[in-house]
Structure 1
């Protein structure tokens, strides 16, 4: 799991540092930001102190209504838990009391012009991805008509060449060689690159190509939700399935099952076209349509 520091948050969202410039190394261990509310009135049983603490208008206005003594008491009770940082939204001012306590405790106090609800959406999405459990697998990740696919197979089987054909047909590359899979939900796997190979595709006999430079910006995207796991294998006689509807198979990544399909390779076989067909067929299944069921109904009608 990647660690995220307060400096990462500052750089990502162009936050203003009011206090704590020397404490930017503090880590943020938990995804999702937190708005302390009950904590300001003394209830700490479920205080999420390991989260980024966001102070919006409601929190700041409430603090303004308190006497100086009461305000110091309320804030002192929270800062003693040493959360990673505080972020004040909407460029709110009048924060001398926050500056004092954050400086004393070495807690960064940051400020953004964003409205509270908007900043919460942005920081939650960022932290969910950045702190998500992840693994790296050998393969190629592509987005075919909006459908995320992980192409796997032994080295030299033709994964990158298949991806190249798909790109030329208007689909998008996400990652080549090393695909980073992130678990961002109980049923959601996100596929992305490792940064080093961003936009790059390795083709045997050709070398590295930059798909964005060669085919335009639409040939690449940073990430995609993985919904199909396709394995490219060498051709085996008498091993093809000709059933009307195949028994579902799955590959498991971080306890999440992804539908699995095997495509055998043979000279002259349109593998990229088969990948497109698999993606479109998956989409139709999500809409409740099965070609096999449709065919059987036609037979029954005579």
Structure 2
């Protein structure tokens, strides 16, 4: 299972460390951050203590208004659950009592000048991606007109060459050779690179190229949501279907079903153009349009 250290959170969001500097190695294993409002009021039945704890103006102002004895009781009851860290937003001051308890319990106390409403969704997204279940597969990942596509096929079938043609047509490379898939929700898979292959595309007879250097920054992006799985295969006579509308097929990645299409290769066939057509057709289907249904309606209207 993936984890994130508090130090990584500090580095990613440029957080100020107020207490627990020697505890930044502590790990975060839960996605989504949590605001302990009811817990400071004494209700702990559903306390998500394993999450990053966000303290906004409501929480801090509430603690400020308590008597010293009651405040110590409230804070003491919360820190004994040992959450991975506390993050105070809006650069709030007067945190001496919080520092005291965090130092005693070995819990990092962090601070940011950003608003709570901005920090929470940003941290949620970051943790969801970093802690997501993931798998690495052999293939190429591209973004075609905003649509994430996984190109698969046997070695040498032409995946990278197809990606290169798509890049020249204004689309974007995400990953070549090794594609890292991350499941960030029960229905969503994100494709990205492994860091080492970032921006690189391997072309037979040419070698490695850096697409950002060669075609500009718009030729590459870090990640994309995968919505189509396209397999490039060798041409087989009489194996192609010519029905008006093919039965939908799917490929499963970490229990998420992705629509699957097979494109057979033959000299002179515009494979990149077919990939573009598949992407645009998928988009139209999401808008409720089916070319086959439209065609059948036209035929019926002539009867």
3-state SS of paired residue (1:288): coil
Structure 2 CA distance for aligned equivalents of residues 177 and 2 of structure 1:
23
Structure 2 CA distance for aligned equivalents of residues 3 and 49 of structure 1:
16
Extract unaligned runs of 5+ from structure 1. none
3-state SS of paired residue (2:33): coil
Structure 2 CA distance for aligned equivalents of residues 106 and 178 of structure 1:
40
Structure 1 CA distance for aligned equivalents of residues 44 and 60 of structure 2:
19
Structure 1 CA distance for aligned equivalents of residues 263 and 32 of structure 2:
40
Q: Where do residues 60-139 of structure 1 align in structure 2 (5 Å cutoff)? A: 60-139=60-139
Aligned position for 1:214? 214
Structure 1 CA distance for aligned equivalents of residues 2 and 266 of structure 2:
41
Aligned position for 1:40? 40
Residues 17-47 of structure 1: CA distance to partner in whole angstroms, max 9, x if unpaired? 0111111100001001100011111111100
Residues 71-99 of structure 1: CA distance to partner in whole angstroms, max 9, x if unpaired? 11100001111100000000001000000
Tell me the TM-score normalised to structure 1 length: 0.99
Note the C-alpha offset of 1:288: 1.0
Aligned position for 1:145? 145
Structure 1 CA distance for aligned equivalents of residues 34 and 289 of structure 2:
42
Tell me the TM-score normalised to structure 2 length: 0.99
Aligned position for 1:184? 184
3-state SS of paired residue (2:232): strand
Structure 2 CA distance for aligned equivalents of residues 163 and 177 of structure 1:
11
Note the C-alpha offset of 1:2: 2.7
Note the C-alpha offset of 1:224: 0.5
Structure 2 CA distance for aligned equivalents of residues 145 and 78 of structure 1:
48
Structure 2 CA distance for aligned equivalents of residues 202 and 3 of structure 1:
32
Structure 1 CA distance for aligned equivalents of residues 301 and 117 of structure 2:
56
Extract unaligned runs of 5+ from structure 2. none
Note the C-alpha offset of 1:185: 1.1
Note the C-alpha offset of 1:301: 1.7
Q: How many residues align?
A: 302
Aligned position for 1:10? 10
Residues 45-90 of structure 1: CA distance to partner in whole angstroms, max 9, x if unpaired? 1000000001000000000011111111100001111100000000
CA contact (8 A) 2:2 2:29 kept: no
Structure 1 CA distance for aligned equivalents of residues 51 and 151 of structure 2:
36
